[in-house]
Amino acid sequence: MNPSQKTGPTDTVLRKAGRGDLLPIARGNAMSAGACDNAFDDCDRAAVYRAIFTRRDIRSDFVSEPIDDAVLARLIRAAHHAPSVGFMQPWNFIVIRDMGRREKVRDLFLSARMQEEAKIAEDRKELYRRLRLEGICESALNICITCDRDRANGSPLGRWHNPEMDLFSTVCAVQNFWLAARAEGVGVGWVSILDQSALKALLDIPDHVVPVAYLCVGRVSDFAPVPELQRKNWRQRLPLADLVMSECFGVSSDNSLARAIDGLAEDWPGS
Amino acid sequence: MNPSQKTGPTDTVLRKAGRGDLLPIARGNAMSAGACDNAFDDCDRAAVYRAIFTRRDIRSDFVSEPIDDAVLARLIRAAHHAPSVGFMQPWNFIVIRDMGRREKVRDLFLSARMQEEAKIAEDRKELYRRLRLEGICESALNICITCDRDRANGSPLGRWHNPEMDLFSTVCAVQNFWLAARAEGVGVGWVSILDQSALKALLDIPDHVVPVAYLCVGRVSDFAPVPELQRKNWRQRLPLADLVMSECFGVSSDNSLARAIDGLAEDWPGS
């Protein structure tokens, strides 16, 4: 794309056109007005926050309904538009539908969970056992999002000091997928209780590729108002003000920002 | 929160009320209708995709304009609502405004960049030198988002097999921050060319805490239509169809999904 195009209209919005197709409509020229005009209008901004606040890690609320390939394609494209270090786009998306394979992944989960349970503090074991932690076979499909660590061979921009940045880029793709899925009414659950080398063997993943996220994806009966682990008293949400620091680690936030945090309206259940 | 609340209205939408405050308005009861009713309406869904597709890694387009603390508080809250393994919420947010400290961080960047440049392939060094890779002192403020690896001591749910999951949770918080910032018209740039131990010393970050992301945050003149590294020919966007696989790594996507990917409208410049 020619750099001169940068001076053209840069902000567009999708509107429904005809049979559910999304088409771009120009929405003013961001260059012609002040910087604040780069902000979305209130409704669009609220929609983004709505996706962020109502996204859930789904385990038990999947319903037996397929996902349209058109929807799945949009979710994968959203993931593909994540930021990536040196624009290396290290991700792949393995879509797993075969129930035999999914049952094998669930077996991996079950055995990993048993190993993890042994490490959980005695007084929390009972609660741990009651938690539902995956929907591998109940969801419409699974997706493994991987990171190809060799993709930027020869031009490792931004990875010399922090080689894990490609893994982090892949996680950004996961979060894009997750938020887009929320907007589409599709639930996502991230299964992290899996032995990585066993999973790699099961999905023929080569040595230089890391399975960053194993996701269960499907329609759901409900997006619960608060995270399941909060509702089941595994852990409560931490007070935001305690997490914000000023200039250096451990130094309380400055007064003005602290007041702004205190003044945040509770827009969403559990927020 | 009582589990019975789960059966109440679960979907709300923010609407502007009075002086810019965002208040929740009930929007029907998701339990009373089919699963697809969990999807956002077309406009809200488009707003989420708009944030995803028009988000940019900002380096050179910052303008000298402050960020309201109310906006900053909203962005940090959005980050705090990221998914986290075992709901451990491992993040902290260090807001850095002091120019003296930022100049020291920029010095770290400059020396790290020189080290990295030595590793770049000969035929790309000239282009590498021309790339703008940070806006540490030009942005309104910097934020370091950290991961406290000890936060879930005694209940490491979901981390026995994959201990890096807490870092990945923190990256999800970064991506939430980034997308919310796009909706607020605020630019974000992730500086990954930094020596982590030197950065930790400068920000008094203790041993058990990892500085996952160092972000430059500020108002911008423009969100460019395509990523800067793409525009400057460092790398092009990979064709999405090549990245999608079916059942196992290396197996081309099934025909139906491949067709759906081919059929995606080019909704956004560069998408």
DSSP track, chain B: --GGGGGS---EEEEEETTTEEEEEE---GGGS-GGGGSPPHHHHHHHHHHHHH--B-SS-B-S----HHHHHHHHHHHHTS--GGG---EEEEEE--HHHHHHHHHHHHHHHHHHHTTS-HHHHHHHHH-----TTTSSEEEEEEEETTTTTT--TT-SS-TTHHHHHHHHHHHHHHHHHHHTTEEEEE---S-HHHHHHHTT--TTEEEEEEEEEEEBS---SS-HHHHTTS-PPPPGGGGEEESSTTPBPPHHHHHHHHT----STT-
State the average pLDDT over residues A228-249.
95
d(Cα A45, Cα A53) in Å, to the nearest integer? Answer: 12
Query: pLDDT exceeding 90 applies to what percent of chain A?
Result: 77
d(Cα B265, Cα B268) in Å, to the nearest integer? Answer: 9
CB contact under 8 A, A168 and B165: no
Which of chain A's residues have a Cβ under 8 Å away from the Cβ of B186? 39
CB contact under 8 A, B225 and A5: yes
User: What per-residue confidence (pLDDT) applies to B265?
Assistant: 79
> Binning pLDDT at 50, 70 and 90, where does residue A16 land?
very low
- pLDDT higher than threshold 60 for residue A22: no
Angle between helices B99-117 and B122-130 (to 10 degrees): 160
Which of chain A's residues have a Cβ under 8 Å away from the Cβ of B13? 46-47, 50
CB contact under 8 A, B229 and A87: yes
User: What per-residue confidence (pLDDT) applies to A269?
Assistant: 54
Report the b/e string of A152-182 with b at 16+ CB within 10 A. beebbbbbbbbebbbbbbbbbbbbbbbbbbb
Angle between helices A42-54 and B165-183 (to 10 degrees): 170
DSSP run (H or E) holding A159: none
Q: How far is A25 from chain B (nearest CA, A)?
A: 9
For residue A134, give the chain B residue with the closest CA: B158
Q: Please tell me whether residue A19 adopts helix, strand or coil conformation.
A: coil
CB contact under 8 A, A13 and B112: no
Six token digits for residue B255: 């025909």
**CB burial class (10 A; 0-12, 13-18, 19+) of residue A62?**
buried
d(Cα B9, Cα B6) in Å, to the nearest integer? Answer: 8
CB contact under 8 A, A119 and B156: yes
Which of chain B's residues have a Cβ under 8 Å away from the Cβ of A124? 154-155
- pLDDT higher than threshold 60 for residue A142: yes
Instruction: Pick the range with the lowest mean pLDDT from A11-25, A78-92, B94-108.
Output: A11-25
Q: Which residues contact A243 (CB under 8 A, 6 or more apart)?
A: B76, B80, B89, B91, B92, B93
Alpha carbon B48 to its chain's center: 14
For B77, B83, B101, B200, the CA distances from B91, given in Å and listed in that order, are 11, 11, 22, 15
d(Cα B113, Cα B153) in Å, to the nearest integer? Answer: 36
Instruction: Closest CB to B46: pick one of A15, A83, A245.
Output: A15
pLDDT < 50 positions in chain B? 1-35
Residue B218 phi/psi, 5-degree rounding, is: -175, 170
- Return the amino acid letter for A156: P
Q: Please tell me whether residue A248 adopts helix, strand or coil conformation.
A: coil
Instruction: Closest CB to A91: pick one of B146, B194, B243.
Output: B243
d(Cα A242, Cα B80) in Å, to the nearest integer? Answer: 11
Angle between helices A69-80 and B255-262 (to 10 degrees): 60
Average pLDDT, chain A: 86
Q: Which of A267, A131, A112 is nearest to A196 (CA)?
A: A112
> Binning pLDDT at 50, 70 and 90, where does residue A26 land?
very low
Which of chain A's residues have a Cβ under 8 Å away from the Cβ of B88? 235
CB contact under 8 A, A13 and B47: yes
Are the C-beta atoms of residues A15 and A25 closer than 8 Å to each other?
A: yes
d(Cα B103, Cα A147) in Å, to the nearest integer? Answer: 34
Which of chain A's residues have a Cβ under 8 Å away from the Cβ of B172? 171, 174-175, 178
CB contact under 8 A, B261 and A73: yes
CB contact under 8 A, A203 and B248: yes
Q: Please tell me whether residue A203 adopts helix, strand or coil conformation.
A: coil
Are the C-beta atoms of residues B86 and A229 closer than 8 Å to each other?
A: yes
Which of chain B's residues have a Cβ under 8 Å away from the Cβ of A30? 222-223
User: What per-residue confidence (pLDDT) applies to B18?
Assistant: 32
Q: Are strands B141-148 and B209-219 parallel, antiparallel or unpaired?
A: antiparallel
Q: Which of A117, A107, A109, A96 is nearest to A194 (CA)?
A: A109
CB contact under 8 A, B69 and A128: no
- The answer to ipTM > 0.90 is no
Alpha carbon B23 to its chain's center: 25
Alpha carbon B74 to its chain's center: 14
| Backbone torsion region of residue A18, taken as left when φ is above 0, otherwise alpha when ψ lies between -120 and 50, otherwise beta | left
d(Cα B81, Cα B187) in Å, to the nearest integer? Answer: 20
d(Cα A168, Cα A175) in Å, to the nearest integer? Answer: 11
Instruction: Closest CB to B203: pick one of A96, A222, A248.
Output: A248
CB contact under 8 A, A43 and B204: no
Q: Which of B65, B178, B173 is nearest to A244 (CA)?
A: B173
CB contact under 8 A, A52 and B81: yes
Which of chain A's residues have a Cβ under 8 Å away from the Cβ of B189? none
Alpha carbon B93 to its chain's center: 14
> Binning pLDDT at 50, 70 and 90, where does residue A37 land?
confident
For A136, A191, A218, B87, B162, the CA distances from A110, given in Å and listed in that order, are 11, 11, 21, 20, 15
Q: What torsion do the CA atoms of A250, A252, A257, A261 make, to the nearest 10 degrees?
A: 90
Are the C-beta atoms of residues A194 and A105 closer than 8 Å to each other?
A: yes
User: What per-residue confidence (pLDDT) applies to A213?
Assistant: 98
- pLDDT higher than threshold 80 for residue A170: yes
> Binning pLDDT at 50, 70 and 90, where does residue A9 land?
very low
User: What per-residue confidence (pLDDT) applies to B36?
Assistant: 58
Which residue did the predictor score with more confidence, B241 or A22? B241
